[in-house]
Amino acid sequence: MEKLLNEKKMPNERGFFGEFGGSFIPEQLTFVMKEITDKYDEIKDTEEFKRELMYLNKHYTGRPSPVFYAKNLSEKIGGAKIFLKREDLNHTGAHKINHCLGEALLAKKMGKKKLIAETGAGQHGVALATAAALVGLECDIYMGEVDIEKEYPNVVKMKILGAKVIPVTHGLKTLKEAVDSAFEAYLKDTSSQIYAIGSIVGPHPFPMMVRDFQKIVGIEAKEQFLQLTGILPNNLVACVGGGSNAMGLFSAFLNDESVNMYGVEPNGKGNLIGEHAATLTYGEPGILHGFKSQLLKDNDGNPAPVHTVASGLDYPGVGPQHSYLKKIKRVKYTTIYDNEAIDAFFELSRCEGIIPAIESAHAVAYAMKLAAKMNSGNTILVNLSGRGDKDIDYIVKTYPENFILND
Ligand SMILES: *Cc1c(COP(=O)(O)O)cnc(C)c1O
């Protein structure tokens, strides 16, 4: 196993994690992807780049984010001890800023003028617009018209930050179409722009690069957990959309065989096509957006429609490294339904005074189930990927019975 997991070889030079990953892109993009890979390889280990990123992580994002023992929740469940890695406390409220700062710095060093990206719920858009403002780059965010209406506060934030939000009006007018449009815009000018992907997905080098920028989560957590308890955690739990927050945490523990890892996918409303977005659980190998991985397909073999209460997990594909880790059985992938995530959202809020993002609530929900099956000698470290401020409006609308005021 040691050999298989050796990070230095993951991915190989063509971007493959075993059979997954790689680069399945139009000819025009081959050159620019190589340019990005070469520049990244050239600067990533230089003192200057590492120092700049470390400085921003510390003084801008507020790293290290703490590890917190959720004592009230753990004692209420009466099983394993649950700990939280508090990525919700980062500037902009989630882990996404970790890779957005890295991508923005790289773009600046490559002499690019503009960052472009797609966004679904607007979380990646806001984090990227933030990084663009800081580093001094223009920023175009492609967003489906349906999402623009649904996620209006994030649209306003991106505009305040100086980004241009470009409505996407074709097809279902949501995330997949936004990716199509962003790709199209990118193809028109690959010399002055860079497409800053929002997770560990897309063609090589993005799954590798975004993972590297997120790895700080796991590196910090390992040291903090050891300091708090004197041992390594027995179990890691993280939600998986594209898979960046999970891979950020898992990366630092892959060679620690005593540590069990659980990736939690959204099972939405049910197990049928269109009811969930649990790619590793129900998918099969396929190619989407330039890389090979597990993929949810409809009956015609096209990317399936997806549903989950957590817009940040709403994607029919998944990072190729997760497909590989599932195949070699290093990580166990499991699922949580919408209603279980919502229950965990309220439970964590009321037990600990921490309102989690609904995405992160999937991880909390699974950790609660796992904890109940174990005794208090066991530990579970959850990546709390983001905070729930963005979800408040949705929660009020969907569960009005919880918000009737007492007279
Ligand atoms: C975007 C997002 C996710 C999902 O993305 P991953 O790449 O799977 O980490 C999870 N949690 C939060 C808070 C998010 O904003």
Report domain extents, the chain. 31-57+96-207, 63-93+215-398
Q: Is the dihedral of CA 79, 344, 333, 270 positive or negative?
A: positive
Whether the predicted pLDDT of 97 surpasses 60: yes
- Ligand 1 pocket test, candidate residues 100, 247, 313, most atoms within 8 A of CB: 313
Judged against a pLDDT cut of 80, whether residue 90 lies above it is answered with yes
Residue spans of beta strands (DSSP E) within 199-309: 235-239, 260-268, 284-288, 291-295
* pLDDT more than 70, % of the chain: 98
Tell me, yes or no, if 397 is annotated catalytic.
no
For domain 31-57+96-207, the CATH architecture is 3-Layer(aba) Sandwich (3.40)
Distance of CA 317 to the CA centre of its chain: 12
> What mean pLDDT value characterizes the chain?
95
Catalytic residue among 96, 173, 292, 390: 96
* 259: pLDDT strictly greater than 90: yes
Give the tens place of pLDDT for each residue, 141-159. 999 998 898 888 999 999 9
pLDDT at 5: 54
**pLDDT higher than 60, residue 71:** yes
Distance 389 CA to ligand 1 centre (A): 14
Give the pLDDT of residue 8: 55
Protein residue with least CA distance to atom 2, ligand 1: 312
Higher pLDDT, 263 or 174: 263
Check pLDDT > 80 for residue 4: no
Pair 81, 235: CB distance under 8 Å: no
Please name the residue whose Cα sits nearest to atom 13 of ligand 1: 386
Residue 2: per-residue pLDDT: 46
Q: Among 4-8, 173-177, 280-284, 356-360, name the one with the lowest average pLDDT.
A: 4-8
Check if 96 is active-site. yes
Averaged pLDDT for residues 86-105: 98
Above pLDDT 90, what percent of the chain?
A: 88
Q: Which pLDDT value is given to residue 6?
A: 53
- What is the CA angle 389-391-396, rounded to 5? 110
Q: pLDDT confidence of 406, banded at 50, 70, 90?
A: low
Condensed to tens digits (0 to 9), the pLDDT of residues 304-325 reads 999 999 988 988 999 999 999 9
* Residues in contact with ligand 1 (CB, 6 Å cut-off): 94, 96, 123, 199, 239-245, 312-313, 357, 359-360, 385-386
pLDDT at residue 28 above 90? no
257 an active-site residue? no
Is the sign of the CA dihedral 363, 368, 374, 379 positive or negative?
Answer: positive
Cβ count within 10 A of residue 191:
12
User: Quick one: which of 7, 82, 92 has its CA closest to 56?
Assistant: 92
11 prior amide bond cis, ω within 30: yes
The Cα–Cα gap between 24 and 393 comes to 39
Q: Does domain 63-93+215-398 have CATH number 3.40.50.510?
A: no
Q: Please check whether the two domains, 31-57+96-207 and 63-93+215-398, share a CATH topology.
A: yes
Query: How do residues 358-386 score in pLDDT, each as one tens digit?
Result: 999 999 999 999 999 999 999 999 999 99
Which of 103, 118, 220, 359 is catalytic? The answer is: 118
Looking at the predicted structure, is the pLDDT value of residue 3 above 70?
Answer: no
Cβ atoms 13, 183 nearer than 8 A = no
pLDDT for the residue numbered 164:
98
- Rounded Cα distance, 41 and 98, in Å: 18
3-class DSSP assignment, residue 285: strand
Confidence of residue 77 (pLDDT cuts 50, 70, 90): very high
